[in-house]
Chain A
Amino acid sequence: MLILTCPNCGIAADETELSAGGEAHLTRFGAGSSDADFENYLFMRKNARGVHFERWRHSYGCGKWFHAARCTTTLEVFGTYPAQTTEPPAELIEKIKQKCPDFEGFSK
């Protein structure tokens, strides 16, 4: 039963208020893209065992999407941040590195 703090409205929201949206920071490939790029975008997932950057929507709250960095083996939440970005904030990466020495940083 996760709790995530919505960076838009500031509410520490219960999982039942939220909808999960899968891996974050995917680059959309539309018409004209290569087969491999399109397949990667649509289907290939890191499915990380450990630090995972992911999308959530505060569906039964403010309705806004946001991103979270969360550990998929301990469920620790390192932080949440607005969805309007193509990569996680640098200070969050730094924080995760301090907590998880094995974490190699964010990569696409």
Chain B
Amino acid sequence: MSTRLQNHGRLIDRSMRLEFNWNGKRLNGFKGDTLASALLANGEMLVGRSFKYHRPRGIVASGPEEPNALVGLGQGGKYEPNQRATTTELFNGLTAKSQNHWPSLEFDVGGVNRVMTRFFPAGFYYKTFMAPSFAWKHVFEPVIRKAAGLGAAPDPEERDADRYEYFYAHCDVLVIGGGIAGLAAALQAGKSGAKVLLLEQENHFGGRAPVDGVTIEGKPAQDWIDATVAALDSMENVTIRTRTMGAGVYDHGYALGYERLTDHAPEIAGPRHRLWRIRAKRILTATGAIERPLSFAGNDVPGVMLAGAVRDYMINHGVSVGDGVVVATNNDDAYRTAIALKEAGLDVPAVIDARSTATGPLVEKARAMGIRVETGTAISSVYGNKKVTSVGLCKQSGEGTKTDELDCDAVAMSGGWSPVVHLWSHCGGKLNWDSEMAMFRPDPSRPPLGADGEGFVLVAGTANGHLDAAAAIADGHAVGAQAASEAGFDAKDDAAPLAESEAEGPILAVWSMPQGQNKKLQMKTFLDYQNDVKVSDVRLAAQEGYESVEHTKRYTTLGMATDQGKLSNINGLAVLADSLNAEIPQVGTTTFRPPYHPISMGAIAGEARGGLFKVLRRTPMHDWTDSNGGVWEPVADWRRPYCYQQAGESVKEAVNREILQTRNSVSILDASTLGKIIVKGPDAGKFLDMLYTNMMSTLKVGRCRYGLMCSENGFLSDDGVVARLDEDTFLCHTTSGGSDRIHAWMEEWLQTEWWDWKVYTANVTEQYAQIGIVGPNARKVLEKMGTDMDLSAEALPFMAFADGEIAGIKARPYRISFSGELSYEVAVPAAQGQAFWDAALAAGKEFGITPYGTEALHVMRAEKGFIMIGDETDGTVIPQDLGLNWAISKKKEDFLGKRAQQRPHMVDPKRWRLVGLETEDPSVVIPDGAYAVDGTTRANGVKNMIGRITSTYYSPTLKRSIAMGLVEDGPERMGDTIMFARTDGTTINAKIVDPVFLDKEGARQNV
């Protein structure tokens, strides 16, 4: 059983005892522990159940590559599923639960899947569960879904109790990884004067060097590490961040850092995670290497661990994984584990070495210590269920016939080390297979290319394939200098730090243990622990023709678990290569995709949540509306009031009240969201003639004209009133949602097509509050407010505007109307919008003035048959469809959209065109979006449609329903009754009428 040792534990502080809760048990650990080391210290070898077979699983690794020890961490608004115990720093009060089992970790009903293993090979679900056809969705899928998944979902009614933020950083050299190579690189780059950012995912530096007993400059590695970190700390041009992972590398020198600020200490105030958005001239990855498991039967039994992890837990945390640990290896590094165990007074029954000869200094040292070394030997099988009890031995060259059995309670395995090349590869850096070292390593001649076509990612140290400490630190030193120099700095040409460690003999590539492992053993030999992918599965995939590495991955799910194949990919593709009689590089790797290690959605979203989710544009009267019954609806980035609800009335009642008040007396409208764009210059008229379908250059100063804008594809895109302020200046109103788009559209044409035209534009939408005073008493209200302008019909007729003062505020009333009533839309400086609004309310009090919202506006414009962009138009409608030919100039040679409107489909007389519609029963309102049908059915079974509703309302003014719609031959069918279909199959009869329902002659507005 695993336990805490009396000695070792360089990272823990035994004076700081911490209490935590594991599956309801109260356990203790020390400051400096990870959750994984603390669990092992408490003898908790069994930590979870696997994904497919629900097999018992223990801790395998000591870092982010851990596939098994995923736990549910925290509670309520702090709960997080699938947190890795190996990367979770222990804190007082930590609560964790194991996952993927029912009813308990010890006894899991799903474990029945284990005995069915043989019936669940790779891809079995593609071959069954097919009949009857409804059964997948209703019978099989629910069972499979429930068995799959890992941690429980967070409670949907809880809210994340933490917050998150972004950081932005620009640097010359980004160094990812604070091991000895990364430190040496950062130092070289820092000395050159380059701006350096160094990220380390752990809370300490040095990587494996202190664990492996490396000496640097003749002293223990830790001394050099401490001195180097101190030196970097003192450089103003160097920034260091721990607990910050390099998560991803993106094009043009962009990188993501993922900083975990409070995961280790939830009591700290402030954001939990910070997403670093980094731009670097050069990105240097010194990300180390990850040890590979060996593929022998039973290699997933709790207690079978990576040799390096066994060493880590002992030296870093003072934890032994068992009293008797068998070491299985194909390389010399694992002997370090055997030696360390022995030196700590633990038993090493044997080192099982697959190599026929092993003679390196580490091997000799182990032998000299009395450790039994069995060369040419393999583990035939591990025995034990929830923990290791013994291992069987066999010849590595054979098929697995057991020759001996050794009692033990843990196995430390090492299949060699794979450089962490993820960040190199994210943006297309290529790899070479080094058969001597049995690893993929970066090909420096094929780096990811930056904006300038030069490589922008460099790799150093172990990540670059230098497993030896001396070579790794020298590489870091050299590549650090190279990165600085490529970023434009003069790096010092001084000597690299001298590191020493025991030399290692050659590795033997072992992809199967034993070599000729029989089929029965292959079915118990795991490649991907979390997804339960076995050697037999990969071989089956190859046998069935899933030969591409991507096919094998997807068919078996190899490498698709939350560790993304960090442990399994190389072993898996080696088995695939063997099955196909191909070389490993021919098979190739799957694509490395960000992030290196999962990062929280919270961090990705950053601060932009709730009220900050999206920019909110506010009119000057926003707050007033908010506190006066405004029922908000989102309109583009604005909010507009649907209506102003008074106490005791429904939304619908409010809308009707607002309409009748407007029609009978006077109302006030916040129209500030309307786009307002100044177009100025000698060629402004000529320019607007191209932009609008009608002629704008002939507009008289002081007058307004309604205009239509089309896309170059002919479709109506925006409308609004244009006012000519002076000979060279126009003010173009756009729809609320259109101001930015139309302004950009104007600039696009001016800058990229007619750049020789003398025209300037400015979007002044937010510079003005625009307030509509609408209704028969509108003029009286304005006059009561006090003005220096003559607002009479004679002085200021319909479609004119004037400049002056109202209520002492500089104002420009436009005589324009979207309701058909006497109406003044008054533009005032935005800062005085509320003052004007207040003055208007006060002056209008005697007329019962009330504000009205968007719905009343919509109904009133429909009563008048005015089109609304977005209702009558949808991107497929041309002005001709809407009977707006009067607004399309026939004199102009060209305007945007003119050519498009001449295409055959655009002049097709069968295009649906705008009409008004009155239901037979005036109380029935046709549903929004209903289609007109003629009762026939097309050959393909579709009911024939001859038109559709574009706007439909109950008109309180007319006391009946009204609608507008586009109908085939509509204008020619005035008076005809046609049918509109409801979704339930019933129909509504409606008569085709003129779309202007109210005051066709315009008597109400021309006063």
Binding site for B on A (CB under 8 A): 1-4, 14, 19, 21, 28-33, 35, 38, 42, 55, 57, 59, 63-65, 74-77, 83-84, 99
Kindly list chain A residues whose C-beta atoms are within 8 Å of the C-beta of B893: 31-32
- Which listed segment binds A: B446-454, B695-703, B794-802? B446-454
In the A-B complex, the 10 residue pairs with the closest CB atoms: A1-B254, A76-B453, A31-B894, A30-B894, A65-B751, A84-B755, A31-B898, A3-B252, A1-B250, A77-B451
A-B contact pairs, 10 of them (CB 8 A): A31-B902, A32-B893, A33-B899, A57-B744, A65-B752, A75-B251, A76-B452, A77-B451, A83-B752, A84-B752
Docked-complex contact A30 and B898, CB < 8 angstroms: yes
Given contacts A28-B753, A35-B903, A38-B899, contact A3 B253 (CB under 8 A): yes
Residue of A nearest to B450 (CB): A76
Tell me, in angstroms, the Cα distance from A53 to B437 when the chains sit together: 45
- A87 and B450 CA atoms in complex are apart in Å by 25
Q: Most A CB atoms within 10 A — which of B453, B894, B898? A: B453
Instruction: Tell me, in angstroms, the Cα distance from A28 to B713 when the chains sit together.
Output: 12
Contacts of B903 in A (CB 8 A): 35, 38
* Residues of the B chain whose Cβ atoms lie less than 8 Å from the Cβ of A14: 279
Contact at B250–A42, with CB atoms within 8 Å? no
Which residue of the partner chain, among A21, A42, A74, A84, contacts B900 with CB atoms under 8 Å?
A42
**Shortest distance in angstroms between B231's beta carbon and chain A's nearest beta carbon?**
31
The residues of A that contact B502 with a CB separation of less than 8 Å are: none
Contact partner of A1 (CB less than 8 A), chosen from B252, B753, B894, is B252
Known: A31-B898, A83-B752. A63 touches B451 (CB 8 A): no
In the complex, B263 has a CB within 8 A of chain A: no
| A84-B751 CB under 8 A given contacts A30-B894, A76-B449 | yes
Given contacts A3-B279, A31-B899, A64-B751, 9 further A-B contacts (CB under 8 A): A1-B250, A1-B251, A31-B893, A31-B898, A42-B712, A42-B713, A75-B252, A83-B752, A84-B752
- The complex places the Cα of A2 from the Cα of B251 at a distance, in Å, of 6
Q: Identify which of A59, A74, A83 contacts B744 (C-beta below 8 A).
A: A59
Interface residues of B in 882-938 (CB under 8 A from A): 893-895, 898-900, 902-903
User: At the interface, yes or no: B747 with Cβ under 8 Å from chain A?
Assistant: yes
Give min CB distance, B754 to chain A, whole Å.
10
How many chain B residues touch A (CB < 8 A): the figure is: 28
Among B744, B752, B903, the one with the most A-chain Cβ atoms within 10 Å of its Cβ is B752
Q: Which of B451, B895, B898, B902 contacts A2 (CB 8 A)?
A: B451
Distance, CA A83 to CA B451, complexed state (A): 20
Q: Are A3 and B451 in contact (CB under 8 A)?
A: yes
**Which residue on A lies nearest to B168, using beta carbons?**
A14
> Measured between alpha carbons, how far is A4 from B450 in the docked complex, in Å?
12
Q: In the complex, A75→B253 CA distance in Å?
A: 12
By beta carbon, the residue of chain B nearest A19 is B744
Chain A CB within 8 A of B748 CB? yes
B900 with A38: CB separation less than 8 A: yes
**In the complex, which residues of chain B have a beta carbon less than 8 angstroms from the beta carbon of A55?**
752
B744 neighbours in A (Cβ, 8 Å):
19, 57, 59
Establish whether residues B751 and A83, one from each chain, have CB atoms under 8 Å apart when the complex forms.
Answer: yes
Residue-by-residue, is B232-268 near A (CB-CB < 8 Å gives 1, otherwise 0)? 0000000000000000001111100000000000000
A93-B496 Cα distance, complex, nearest whole Å: 44
Whether the pair B451, A30 counts as a contact (CB closer than 8 A) is: no
Would B251 and A30 count as touching, CB distance under 8 A? no
Least distance between B994 CB and chain A CB atoms (Å): 31
User: In the complex, which residue of chain B has the Cβ closest to the Cβ of A3?
Assistant: B252
In the assembled complex, the CB of A57 is this many whole angstroms from the nearest CB of chain B, namely 7
Known: A30-B894, A42-B713, A42-B900. A21 touches B279 (CB 8 A): no
Minimum distance in angstroms from A12 CB to a CB of chain B: 9
- Which partner residue on chain A sits nearest B427 by CB separation? A75
The distance in angstroms between the C-alpha atoms of A70 and B799, with both chains bound, is 50
List, in ascending order, chain B residues with CB within 8 A of A2's CB.
Answer: 251-252, 451
Q: Do B898 and A65 touch (CB < 8 A)?
A: no
Which of B251, B253, B451, B453: most chain A CB closer than 10 A?
B451
Nearest chain A CB to B167 CB, angstrom units? 15
Shortest Cβ distance from B108 into chain A, in angstroms?
44
- Distance from A63 Cβ to chain B, minimum over Cβ atoms (Å): 7
Q: In the assembly, what is the distance between CA of A59 and CA of B751, in Å? A: 13
Residue of B nearest to A16 (CB): B277
A74/B898 contact (C-beta < 8 A), A3-B252, A83-B751 known: no
Task: Map CB proximity to A onto B453-465 as digits: 1 under 8 Å, 0 otherwise.
Answer: 1000000000000
Which residues of A have CB within 8 Å of B898?
A: 30-31
The digit string for B704-717, where 1 denotes a CB below 8 A from any CB of A, is 00000000110000
Residues of B within 8 A of A3 (CB): 252-253, 279, 451
Is A30 within 8 A of B899, CB to CB?
Answer: yes
For B761, the closest partner residue in chain A by CB is A63
- The reply to whether A32 and B899 contact each other, CB–CB distance below 8 Å, is yes
- Bound Cα distance A31, B712 (Å): 11
Chain B residues near A76: list those with CB within 8 A: 449-453
The B731-759 residues at the A interface (CB cut-off 8 A) are: 744, 747-748, 751-753, 755
Select B748's contact among A57, A74, A75, A77, beta carbons within 8 Å: A57
Most interface-central of A4, A19, A42, A55 (chain B CB within 10 A) = A42
Asked if A77 meets B449 with Cβ closer than 8 Å, knowing A28-B753, A84-B751, the reply is: no
Task: Determine how close the nearest CB of chain A comes to the CB of B755; give it in whole angstroms.
Answer: 4
- With both beta carbons as reference points, the residue of chain A lying nearest to B751 in the complex is identified as A65
